[in-house]
Structure 1
Amino acid sequence: MQKSKREKLGFTLILLFSLSAIIGLVSLERIPQDLAYHAFVDFRTMIAIPNFWNVLSNLPFLIVGIVGLYQLLISNKLTIIHEMKSAYTLLFIGVSLVAFGSGYYHISPNNQTLVWDRLPMTIAFMALFAIIIAEFISLNIGKKLLWPLVIAGIASVVYWHVSELQGVGDLRFYAFIQFFPMLAIPVTLLLFCSRFDRVNGYWLLISCYFLAKVFEYFDNAIYDILALSISGHSIKHMIAALGLYALLVSYQKRHKLR
């Protein structure tokens, strides 16, 4: 398929996904946070840390985030779009803060601490979405959308939190912010041309994201299979961090095409 036809198809699919997601957002009834979400199978306390492995397994996020920031801002080892440097910086700051936010949440899992888990994750995710738009679709659009996307991501978490405090919990906006990019990003990778010669880092990140979701879903079963040594949720954290590490490596090794 010719480049122009591929890109036209890409824009069409993204538009359809956008409209479908918006229609779904407004047509669904509000979605409160299920309190069973906080019931993780591995709640062992070690060295005075509750839910030890669910807390400690966030450490890889901090490592990837700090290494990413160092190579981006100090050693200049990453091949990036320099006009989008603030977006890459936000990405790795967000990844670093996930370690603290998620660690804090897992010490005492509840709706109040969950806010600090979701905020840095959403900042990193929205920065990544803007980066992909800039690298594949349009630098100008990516630059213009960076802060609106980040603000929308933060607002989605704040809206959910306030709605829970008022007894009318509503996750719809947050769900839209999280899952619409997961539809748009694969379409973008497949149908638009990158400015760089390597896109495998993004595919590895997506693969790890979905694999992490599988381990999260089977939290209890994996804990039983592994003879109560480590749970699916703890492994989820490590797989997600591995995907981010793969992306970091691809940023190190790629070269600009245009």
Structure 2
Amino acid sequence: MDKKIAFLLLILVSVTGLFFLLVEPVAQPKKYLQFADQRMLLGIKNFWNVVSNLPLILLGICGVVMAWKRQLLHDNFSVTPVYLTLFTAVIFTGIGSIWFHLNPTNQTLFWDRLPMAVVFMSLLTALLAEYMGRPLQKILFYPLLLAGAGSVIYWHTTETLGRGDLRPYLLVQFLPILCMVMLMAISRSQFTRSRDILVILFCYGLAKLTEYLDQQIFAATTLISGHTLKHLLAAGAILILLKMLWLREEIVNR
């Protein structure tokens, strides 16, 4: 096994083990479903949190079309349609989020988080293969998809049983970020524009921050909530990813 791959796996396994060892089960906070901006417009409940998902859906559709037409530069095997899966999941993330915000419950939240986990795992697979070797796609893609979906199913099942545990889903969200940063530190992409990944991570981090400051941002602006901004920043991250895949070039002499 390549030493870089072994090192990366060791770090990820260690972080995962320590997380489960040191962190108690994390239940879904009750206040999570109490969004700051609950205004109704045009007969639509939570209007701005609903419609702010439309850019995400449109970008997902663009990504699917461009991936299908082979307009995006990547190195995927035909049996591992990583980016086609990713952008399809982006579409369903937007649809699931609309469904959730029309009726915010843990049951509808499941359909928001499930495709989101697929997005995380697809991007992780793509970048691992891009930085560490193409064969990793065949080894990791479907197991990582199952792990991502499994984390959401586990959360939903434990929540239904009255002992909710978000820990696996939290790992699915944040381990890929650690992994991407480490990949860029220890290896090089075979394509240009790799710095765009840092911008994507910045947008995602900002989205999580605005989600956390939902109430405060709405109180300060009275126009837009932190959660609505989260949706727009997530769409911005997908736009940057799409632009990166469309404009980058292969590095001939790595």
Name the structure 2 match of 1:193. 188
CA RMSD of aligned residues (A): 1.7
Partner of 1:47: 42
Count residues in correspondence: 250
Number of the residue aligned with 2:224: 230
Distance 1:144 1:60 in 2: 33
Which residue of structure 1 aligns with residue 91 of structure 2?
Answer: 96
- Secondary structure in 1 matching 2:81: helix
2:32 match: 37
Counterpart residue type for residue 152 of structure 1: A
Structure-1 residue corresponding to 2:208: 213
CA distance in 1, matches of 2:208, 2:76: 32
Q: Which runs of 5+ in 1 are unaligned?
A: 1-6
1:132 is displaced (CA, Å) by 0.3
CA contact (8 A) 2:64 2:84 kept: yes
Question: Is this contact kept in 2: 1:33–1:170, CA < 8 A?
Answer: yes
Q: Cα deviation per residue 1:128-183 (whole Å; 9 max; x = unaligned)?
A: 00000010012111321000000111111011101111111111111122221121
The alignment's TM-score, normalised by the length of structure 1, stands at 0.91
* Residue 124 of structure 2 corresponds to residue 132 of structure 1: no
What TM-score comes out, normalization by structure 2 length?
A: 0.93
In the aligned structure 2, how far is the partner of 1:229 from the partner of 1:68?
A: 30
1:93 aligned partner, one-letter code: T
Aligned match of 2:241 in 241, 247, 252?
247
Q: 1:106 aligns with which of 98, 101, 106?
A: 101
1:24-78 residue CA offsets vs partner (Å, 9 max, x unmatched)? 214432221111111110001111111000011011111111001111103x221
**Which stretch of the first structure deviates more once superposed, 136-145 or 76-85?**
76-85
Which structure 2 residues correspond to residues 80-91 of structure 1 after superposition, within 5 A?
80-83=74-77, 86-91=81-86
SS in 2 for 1:83: coil
CA distance in 2, matches of 1:214, 1:247: 20
What is the identity, as a one-letter code, of the residue corresponding to 2:142?
W
Letter aligned with residue 257 of structure 1: I
- Which residue identity lines up with residue 185 of structure 1 in the other structure? M
Question: Which residue is equivalent to 1:19?
Answer: 14
Runs of 4+ residues deviating >4 angstroms: 7-11
Residue 154 (str. 1) matches residue 135 (str. 2) = no
1:145 pairs with 2:179: no
CA distance in 2, matches of 1:26, 1:151: 23
Q: Partner residue of 2:117?
A: 122
What is the alpha-carbon distance in structure 2 between the residues aligned to residue 129 and residue 82 of structure 1?
13
Q: Which amino acid aligns with 1:254?
A: R
How far apart in 2 are the matches of 1:45 and 1:121?
A: 26
Distance 2:21 2:44 in 1: 41
Q: Which residue of structure 2 lines up, in the alignment, with residue 71 of structure 1?
A: 66
What is the rounded CA distance, in whole Å, between the counterparts of 1:219 and 1:248 in structure 2?
Answer: 27
Query: Structure 2 matches for 1:158-173, cutoff 5 A?
Result: 158-173=153-168
Code of the aligned partner of 2:207 = A
Contact 1:10 1:188 (C-alpha < 8 Å) held by counterparts: no
Q: What is the percent sequence identity of the aligned residues?
A: 36
Mapping of 1:4-15 within 5 angstroms?
Answer: 11-12=6-7, 15=10
Q: Is the partner of 1:139 in helix, strand or coil?
A: coil
Q: Which residue of 1 aligns with 2:174?
A: 179
List gaps (5 residues or longer) in structure 2: none
Q: For the Cα contact (< 8 Å) 1:10–1:187, is it kept in 2?
A: no
8 A Cα contact 2:120 2:172, kept in partner:
no
CA distance in structure 1 between the partners assigned to 2:5 and 2:154 by the alignment = 31
* CA distance 1:82–1:32, change in 2 (3 Å): closer
